[in-house]
Chain A
Amino acid sequence: MLGLAILAFVALLGIIYQKASAYSETRLLPYYALRTLLRLSITYIVCLAFGLGIGILAATKERVGNLLIPLLDILQSVPVLGFFPLALAVIISAFHGSILGLELSSMFLLFTSMEWSIVFGVIAGIKSMPPYLKDMSRVFHIEGWDYLKHILFPSIYPYVIAGSILAWGSGWYFVIVTEFINYGGKLYSLPGLGYYLQTASFKYSSVWMSLAGLATIGIIVFLMNRLIWHRLNERAKEHRFMFFHGFAPRESTGQGFWARQVNYIDSRLDAVQGVHLPSWFLLRFRIRRLNYLLVAVGLLIVIVGVFYGWIRLPITSLDLEHLARDTGYSFGRLAIAYFISLALAIGIGYLILQRPATKNAIVIFTDVAQSIPALAYFPLLWLIFTRIFPVQTGLEIAAVLLMLTGMLWYLIFNVIEAVEHWPKEIKDLSGIFNVKGARYLRHMLIPALLPALVTGSILAWGGGWNATIVSEYVNIGNKAHTIPGLGSALDEASQAGNNHQLLVLLIVMSAIVIVMNSLIWRRLLSRASTHVLEEE
């Protein structure tokens, strides 16, 4: 049965590659894959070095940390894709349009998407080191490099691995768009899988070629997860302090192929959610709001100062009416995508609780689906929807779907994790008192899932805003298809090389994210912290 499935899969791959080989770019696919992988690897190494340095500084020097953590937090919540045209403008002009400049600007964007989970992993790891470990090191005079090597690095190892898994996830997501850029009326491209995928859709409109690109990404991501992250993650388990909450090894689900898959995915979930997210959010929560305000204002002054003082942007009048309309459209689309994601996540939580047998299938499906970066199949979605519907409608649907894929996984993974640690007593309670249907949702499921939903929502909206930039605007040949929104406004500004408008849009988008974080999510997070169920 299993052998048959694998055979069918291999055959399907064969057909896809066979059909795609009609296009000359397909022969270069291994080379493209290598280039993309190299780009990601170099950026990852830089991220790791930077993350360790800054993370250790922020976590060990309290005064520095009180300003550094809000700074990192604001930078990570800003939609990174919006920075891209500006980074291009600066770096490309500095390198006179050479390929090195392009590579550097691509890596800069990747860096801004990969760095945060590593640096926050390092900080969270150091902050959650058991305090007696520091005492022990001091009593036995373990200092300097010895302290880093024997105590600190091994302690934070599981957190760094969890952060790295997340970093590679967002790296794969963004690398697609960094390889094919339209700026100031010029088209820049870097050889890579993203370039291949975009060529497939927008140059040849070939579904087979798109599928070949997608399959290649899927295979690479799968192999990397299996050969690298899974092993490092297994080793990380030995590094965890045993009495630490939630670190008890899971019971094996059994033998056989599918059981092993579930075990494997469970251990990844453990790494990413169990270790990383809760401590990360609690950490940010402890820092006072005033520090955030100070850092945000400081950052704004620096950015505006640089652009108006140093680069000398002309100050033009703003079209506020347009800005408000665009914001409304993008926000509306995101809200639709968010509520669909929320409903799906809660539904999945409900299903797993009611029918535990479905868990394995759901976990495997979500893991496979999530490992293919959403941006990779946008060109394909676009191809399909514009064939079925009128172009404008097709674009709308494709845009909302892409935003959905940018938001969905954060919510689903957090919910699955919460449901896994669902205390038996709560289950018994609903049975004994016959709490069912809407009452069950309102009084039991949703309140109990609140911590997971809030944590997931913060990440989901961050991912969603990033997705607006790539989902509201498509450029095919010389013809641009747009739907109104903040994302397409950003794209148009970068096409036209209008740095002033870019800057304003970027600040607006960042301000929305920051205001939502502090007005909605911070409050919900403090309420959610009283909802955390203890598992005995």
Chain B
Amino acid sequence: MPLIRIEQVSKTFYEAKGELLSLDNVSFGIEDTEFLAIIGPSGCGKSTILRMIAGLEFPTKGHIYFQDKPIKGPIPGVSMVFQNFALLPWKTAKENVLIALDTKAMSRQEKEETAQALLKKLGLDGFENNYPSELSGGMKQRVGIARALAVAPDVLLLDEPFSSLDEVTARELRKETLRIWNDRTAHPDTFVIVTHLVEEAVLMADRVLIMAPRPGRVIGEVKIDIPRPRFDYVRSSIFFEHVDRIEEILEKAGIEDIEHV
């Protein structure tokens, strides 16, 4: 039984201009310890799905289950990394991590230690007391990841987490993210990433779900059978075969340029 089940989910947004069918009858499952990527052009509803798993939004029709229980709101087992980092500019790096631990039943000391350890793990040693405005984009997202890990979730949701970073920084953070996923001694083990970069999906995921817009729906699924660590294969033909398979599915649906639709 999958850890998370999305069953016949539809979502309609009501706007001034009329109704907008954002998701049309979407079903899929996410297995425990799986790294799933959801890919598609803007407007295909991939972020909406992610927000539903986070308990931030609810289906108009259909159901979403986490460990067989319907999701009725944000749950401690699911954590999230945001596209725009969502850091509080008035709090230091450490305070930004601590705020996720506020409601946890831990002593002040334990919280401090957890935050400190996570920042160290993400390579932010010595920057604990810096404000976000004093950190680079990559470091900001490292704080964002540390905060998401602080609640020790089962599932980590990543909403286009590297799209506001430059390519070199993004590459470092992809590596970092894979290292965290690989570490089976610590939670979380199940990752869901939303992206519009085919190469990013092939590099990171076990399985790629491909979506199309108007209305948002799943148009295909590609299993990535490339041994890990994948960085050793990024220039090999097996990597490009996978990329091509995804591109084919997108082209068949009439999506020429995934980034500019």
Contact = CB atoms under 8 A, between A and B. Distances in A.
Contact of B76 (A136, A141, A146, A238): A141
Given A150-B102, A242-B132, 14 more contacts: A130-B86, A135-B54, A135-B56, A138-B55, A139-B80, A140-B147, A142-B102, A154-B90, A238-B90, A238-B131, A238-B133, A239-B89, A240-B89, A241-B89
A132 B84 contact: yes
Bin chain A's interface residue count: 20 to 34
A88 B66 CA distance: 64
Q: Which 7 residue pairs spanning A and B have beta carbons closest together?
A: A136-B86, A140-B100, A154-B90, A132-B86, A139-B80, A138-B74, A141-B103
A132 B90 contact: no
5 contacts: A136-B86, A141-B74, A150-B88, A238-B90, A241-B89
Interface residues of B, number: 27
A133 B86 contact: yes
B81 to A, nearest CB: 10
Interface string B68-104: 0000011010111011101011110000000110110
B21 to A, nearest CB: 22
B76 A135 contact: no
B138 to A, nearest CB: 15
- Provide the main secondary structure of the chain B interface: loop
Contacts of A141: 74, 76, 102-103
A139 B56 contact: yes
Contacts of A135: 51, 54, 56, 80, 82, 86
Interface of A: 130, 132-133, 135-136, 138-143, 146, 150-151, 154, 157, 238-243
- Provide the main secondary structure of the chain A interface: helix
A238 B84 CA distance: 17
A63 to B, nearest CB: 16
A318 to B, nearest CB: 44
Nearest to B144: A136
Contacts of A151: 88
Nearest to A141: B103
Contacts of A239: 89-90
Contacts of B131: 238
Interface string B109-133: 0000000000000000000000111
Nearest to A151: B88
A266 B88 CA distance: 25
A242 B137 CA distance: 12
B4 interface: no
Contacts of B132: 242
A242 B133 contact: yes
Contacts of B100: 140
Contacts of B86: 130, 132-133, 135-136
A241 B79 CA distance: 23
A150 B102 CA distance: 11
Contacts of B54: 135, 139
Contacts of B151: 140
Contact of A132 (B55, B73, B82, B102): B82
B147 A138 contact: no
A154 B90 CA distance: 7
Contacts of B79: 139-140
A143 B103 CA distance: 9
B55 A140 contact: no
B55 A150 contact: no
B88 A154 contact: yes
A151 B190 CA distance: 29
Given A154-B88, A242-B89, A142 B82 contact: no
